[in-house]
Copies of this chain bind each other. A is one copy, B any other.
Amino acid sequence: MIKSDYKMAKEKVFALKKLSLRAQHLDLMAGGTIVLLNAQQANQNDIYTGYRIILRSGRRSITAMVDLTNDMVQPGAIGLFHEAWSELKPEKGGMIEVELTSRPESIEYIKNKLDGKELDPHQIQTIIGEVMQNRLSEGEMSAYMTSCYIRGMSDNEVVGLTNAIVHTGDRFDLKRSPVLDKHCIGGVAGNRTTMVIVPIMAAAGCYMPKTSSRAITSAAGTADTMETLCQVTLPIDEMVAQVRKIGACIVWGGAINLASADDKLIKIRNPLSLDPKGVLLASILAKKKSVGAQYCIIDIPVGRGVKIQDVHEARNLAKDFINIGKRLGIQIEALITNGENPIGRGIGPALECRDVLAVLEGSGPVDLRDKSCQMAGTLMELAGKCKKGEGHAIAQRMIDSKKALAKFKQIVDAQGGDSRKLNAHSVPIGSHRFTLKAERPGRISHLDSKMLSRLARAAGAPSDRGAGVYLHCNHGDVVRPGDPLLDLYSESESKLDLAIKVLKTYEAVELEKVVLDSLRE
C-alpha cells in the first residue's frame, strides 16, 4: 500500500514542474524534434540534456528532446529548431507551456531486454510507438538494437515487432486473391529479378502490389531502374486502383507510408551494421503484411561480398522466414541463391533496365532469365496456381508467349510511361564510354559485386540513370589479350574519367593475379 502511494506522490511532485516560456524560432534542421533551453534555467528546474518535455501551444502539443545552451536562448525563452517549430506551429514570441514528461515507458522494457527478459507484444508496441513519437534518444534506440543483437529474439518477439511496425504505417486490403510479394536480401549487382517476376505473375492472374527501394550504396535499386521508364511515386489509392485493375505495380516504397517505423530502425542499425536477425525479419515482413501479401518468395543470395556468406546461416534464415511468415498469415518460400557473381550484364539503372527488357523480349542474359523464372515458378506453385514442379515451365511460357512483356508495358503505361516504342535498345544510356580490355590471357576468377557497384557509382549511377557498367565476361570465362572485359558508361566526360581512375585503382575483375598464382602452384 505504502509503495503505491509513494509512486503516486512521486508523479505528483513531477507534475508541479510547469513552465511558461517565450517561443524563439531557430531556423535550422536539428535532425529530430529538439528544443534549446537556457542551461541555468533548465538546471534550476531539474531539466537536463536529453530530457523529454511536452510543449503546448494553443491546441497543439508535441514531445521534444531538450538540449541546453548558455547563450543562444535566454532564461524565459525556448528555442525551437525547424522540426519542432513546424510541428507545433507556435506564434513567434508567443508563450509555450512546457512540462516535463514522465520517463518514457520504453526505458524499463529496454532495460528488461538488456537483462535477457522476453518482451511481450504490448511492451514491443510501446517501444516502437515511442520511437515514432521521437521520445527515445539515439542512444536508447541503439541500446534496444544492441540487446536484440546480443540476446536474440524469440519468435513471439519477432511477431510482436512485425505487428508493431505494421501499425505505425498505412495498410491496404486489395480484396483480391492471390496477393503476392517478393523480397531479396540484397547485395548482388544487377539482380533485377523483380521487374521480370512481377509481370509474369500478373500475366498469370495474380496480384502483385510491389513496393521497391532506391539504391543506398548500390548502383541501382528497382525503383531507380523502373524510373528510367515511368513514375514510381504513386499515392497509395492510385497504387491500389492500378493493382486491382491490371494486377500489378512497381513503385518506390519510400513515397508511401507503409511500415514507416522501419526507416527509423534502419537508421539505428546502420552505423554498426547491426542486423539483429529478428529485427531484419520483422522489418521485411512488416512491409509484406502492410500490402496484404498472402504468398511471398524470399531470395537469399549467398557468397563473398553479399550479406549472407555462409550457406548454413542462409538455411536458418530461410527457416525463420517460413516460420514467422506462418505466424503472420503469410505463406513463404525462401530460395538460397548463388550471390558470388553479378546477375545480368548491366549495372546501373538504364543498363539494368535494358537487361530486363531483353529478357522479357525473349533474349537477354540467361542468368537473369533463369533466376526470375525459378522464383516466379516457385511463387506460382506456392499460390496454388499450378502443380509442384510445373511453375518454372509456366513462367518460361509467360515470357516466350510475350504475355509478360505485354503486362510489363501495361504497368509502364499505367504509371505514366510510354511503352509504344519501348524495347531493350530504346532505353538511353550514357554517351561516354570506356572499354577495359584484358592485357594478358587468363580465366575470370571473380566479379566483385561491391566493387562493380562502386565503379558504376563513380560513373554517376544511380542519379545519372544512363551511367554504369556493362559486363562482357562472366565468371569462369577464358579471355585472350585484347578481349573486352567491361564497358564503363557515363553521362559526362569528367565522371567517366573519375570512374576510370577508380577502375585503375582496383581490378574489379580479378584476373591476372589469380591466374598467375594458380599457375605457380
Contact = CB atoms under 8 A, between A and B. Distances in A.
A28 B31 contact: no
A498 B12 CA distance: 13
A146 B137 contact: no
Nearest to A107: B272
A139 B272 contact: yes
Contact of A142 (B44, B142, B270, B507): B142
The bracket for how many chain A residues form the interface is 35 or more
Interface in A403-456: 454
A328 B289 CA distance: 56
B150 A16 contact: no
Interface string A459-489: 0000100000000000000000000000000
A394 to B, nearest CB: 41
A77 to B, nearest CB: 14
A506 B10 contact: yes
A505 interface: yes
Interface string A506-521: 1100100110010000
A377 B140 CA distance: 43
Contacts of A309: none
Interface in A315-349: none
Nearest to A270: B50
**Which 7 pairs between the two chains have the least Cβ-Cβ distance?**
A139-B142, A9-B506, A146-B146, A142-B142, A138-B138, A143-B146, A138-B139
Interface of A: 1-2, 5-6, 9-10, 12-13, 16, 26, 28-29, 31, 36, 43-44, 46, 48-50, 67, 69, 72, 107, 110-111, 114, 116, 137-143, 145-147, 149-151, 216-217, 267-268, 270-274, 454, 457-458, 463, 498, 501-502, 505-507, 510, 513-514, 517
Given A16-B498, A16-B501, 5 more contacts: A16-B502, A48-B216, A111-B273, A114-B272, A143-B272
